[in-house]
Amino acid sequence: MIEDSRTTNKKSLTYSSAGVDDSAADSGLNSLLRWIKKTHNIREGFGGAKLGIGHFANVVDVGRGLGVAISTDTTGSKILIAEMIGKYDTIGIDCVAINVNDILCVGAEPVAFVDCISLEKADPRILEQIGKGLYLGAERSKVSIVGGEIAQVKDIIKGYKPGLGLDLAGTCIGIVPIDEIITGDLIQDGDILLGVSSSGIHCNGLSLARKALFDEGAYDASEIFSETGRTFGEELLQPTKIYVDEVMSLLNSGIDVKGLAHITGNGGFLNLTRLNNSVGYIIDNIPTPQPVFDLIQKTGNIDAEEMFRVYNMGIGFCIVVDSASADDAMKVLDTFEYTAYRMGYVVDDPSCTVKILSHNLVGTGNRYHKDA
């Protein structure tokens, strides 16, 4: 239990009050997609997209029964934490992780990666640390970094301190036979939901975490977090867990994997609804999340609905299998370091709701509410 005078803030924070306006982003995305979706008609067959917009990754048909999965993402405002404490050697791991984890969600094996670093000033010391993290992420993911870009755009990028501004983004590709793409369309009532632990906050909700801890709670990034023995800055910088070994072991085991979901921000477990629009999920077994989540919630006086919408809450990746395969799948997952859980089950539900029973939450779209 985390209690001190800084966890008694009466003002309730939200992602929006921390500066991230999801509603505006959704509206802007719809405007963008009005044009992007038209490009899916440009190519058919070879070079054509096999999936619509909205999955974690897409797959391009490259002929001879093979598909190239592709996904892109940015490390986001986690970089500001690196700037605060002058530690850049793990954000490269995050950049690789958030992309390879998305590639896994279509059943593809990640094989190659490119990075894009936009910055105010090309500091060799900082770039060396970023390079180290990219290498470690690639090594853990078993991918090659085959190229990249460094752009000095000081009039665009601004950071926590003058001269330190940077953005780190990446794109990953993977390989999957066209007839083995996993979309979640075969998920059905009675299937079992499994989850694998996260390493912490990963790359989502850092704006809200900074607002809660450093503004409202007045913690210092160099102050020791007694629950873990790390500084608050180091705690927030814990690199995103890479799930390549767990997922590829499942896919190569012969177990019928029906769905794969990277549990990230803008919905948390509601990301499961991206897999199939005719089912819902009952989560009746969820582990206690890492202490950092409890501290953020108490310091920011954040309600459970917002916490489960913004954060992974201790589970970074979910797998859906049929009930007959659940025990075998757990045996595979139990051979790895990060704890796996049998979390719940699938129900027929055209409203695509996610129910988290322990917290009396019901979610649809990208919002949760308390169950009546």
Domain limits of the chain?
5-16+184-370, 46-180
Residue 91 and residue 134 in contact, taking contact as beta carbons nearer than 8 Å = no
Q: Pick the closest to residue 338 from 365, 316, 358 (CA basis).
A: 316
Confidence category of residue 27, pLDDT binned at 50, 70, 90: confident
Question: Which residues does 226 contact at the CB level (< 8 Å), separation at least 6?
Answer: none
Q: Pick the closest to residue 237 from 77, 73, 20 (CA basis).
A: 77
Q: Please give the Cα distance from 86 to 367 (Å, whole number).
A: 35
Q: Pick the closest to residue 137 from 181, 92, 178, 190 (CA basis).
A: 92
Cβ count near 3 (within 10 Å)? 8
pLDDT tens, residue by residue, 249-306: 999 999 999 999 999 978 999 999 999 999 999 999 999 999 999 999 999 999 999 9
Q: Pick the closest to residue 272 from 190, 361, 341, 366 (CA basis).
A: 366
pLDDT for the residue 19: 76
What is each CA distance from 198 to 75, 101, 203, 256, in whole angstroms? 16, 12, 11, 23
pLDDT tens, residue by residue, 133-153: 999 999 999 999 999 999 999
Q: CATH number of 5-16+184-370: 3.30.460.10, 1.10.10.60, 3.30.930.10, 3.90.650.10?
A: 3.90.650.10
Question: Which residues does 196 contact at the CB level (< 8 Å), separation at least 6?
Answer: 241, 243, 246, 315, 316, 317, 318, 319, 333, 336, 338, 339, 340, 341
Confidence category of residue 16, pLDDT binned at 50, 70, 90: confident
Domains 5-16+184-370 and 46-180 fall in the same CATH topology: no
Classify 46-180 by CATH class.
Answer: alpha beta
Tokens of 130: 């970023």
In this prediction the pTM is 0.95
Average pLDDT, the chain: 95
What is the mean predicted confidence (pLDDT) over 51-78?
97
